[in-house]
A and B are shown apart, each in its own frame.
Chain A
Amino acid sequence: MRDWRSMAKASGIPLSQQELERVAGPLDDLEVTFRQLARDLSPDLEPAIGFHLEDQSE
Chain B
Amino acid sequence: MTIQEAAAALRDKRITPQELVTSAIARYDRMEPTLKSFIALRPEYAQLRAEQAERELRLGRDRGPLHGIPIAIKDLFAMRGVRTTSEPEIFEHLEPDFNCTVVERLENAGAVIMGKLNMHELAYGITSQNPYHGAVRNPWDGERSPGGSSGGSGAAVAAGIIYGAMGSDTGGSIRIPASFCGCVGIKPTYGRVSRHGALPLAYSLDHMGPMARSVRDTAIMLNVIAGHDKKDETSARRPAPDFVPAPNCSIKGMRIGLPESFFLDRVQPEVETAVRAALAKAEALGAEIKPVWLPDMNAINAVAQVIIMSEASAIYEPYLEHRGRFGADVLMRLDQGRLIPATDYINAQRLRRKMRSNFNRVWSEVDCLIAPTTPTTAPRIGETVVRINGREEEVRLATTRLVRGFNALGLPALSMPCGLGNGMPVGLQIIGPEFEEAMILKVGAALEDAGVKIPVCPMR
Interface residues of A, Cβ cutoff 8 Å to B: 2, 4, 7-8, 11, 13-15, 19, 22-23, 26-27, 30, 33-34, 37-38, 41, 45-49, 52, 55-56
Contact = CB atoms under 8 A, between A and B. Distances in A.
Interface of B: 204, 233, 298-299, 302-303, 305-306, 323, 332, 335-336, 338-340, 344, 346-354, 356
6 contacts: A11-B339, A34-B302, A37-B302, A41-B350, A45-B353, A46-B350
B335 A56 contact: no
B350 to A, nearest CB: 5
B22 to A, nearest CB: 46
Given A30-B305, A45-B350, A47-B349, A22 B332 contact: yes
Given A37-B351, A45-B353, A49-B204, A30 B335 contact: no
A11 B317 CA distance: 12
Given A19-B335, A22-B332, 4 more contacts: A30-B302, A41-B350, A41-B351, A48-B356
B303 to A, nearest CB: 7
B330 to A, nearest CB: 12
A9 B349 CA distance: 27
A41 B336 contact: no
Contacts, number: 70
A57 B298 CA distance: 39
Given A30-B302, A33-B302, A48-B204, A38 B339 contact: no
B335 A23 contact: yes
A47 B339 contact: no
A42 to B, nearest CB: 9
A11 B338 contact: yes
A52 B344 contact: no
Contacts of A8: 335, 338-339
Interface centre among A27, A46, A48, A56 (most CB of B within 10 A): A48
A30 B332 contact: no
A17 to B, nearest CB: 13
B299 A37 contact: yes
Contacts of B204: 48-49
Contacts of B335: 8, 13, 15, 19, 23
Contacts of A56: 233
A49 B347 CA distance: 11
Interface centre among B299, B302, B348, B353 (most CB of A within 10 A): B302
A15 B340 CA distance: 15
Contacts of A26: 336
Contact of B348 (A27, A34, A52): A34
Contacts of A45: 350, 353-354
A48 B353 CA distance: 5
Contacts of A7: 339
Interface centre among A4, A19, A37, A56 (most CB of B within 10 A): A37
A23 B233 CA distance: 33
A49 B349 contact: yes
A25 to B, nearest CB: 10
Contact of B233 (A15, A19, A30, A52): A52
Contacts of A13: 335, 338-339
Contacts of A46: 350, 353
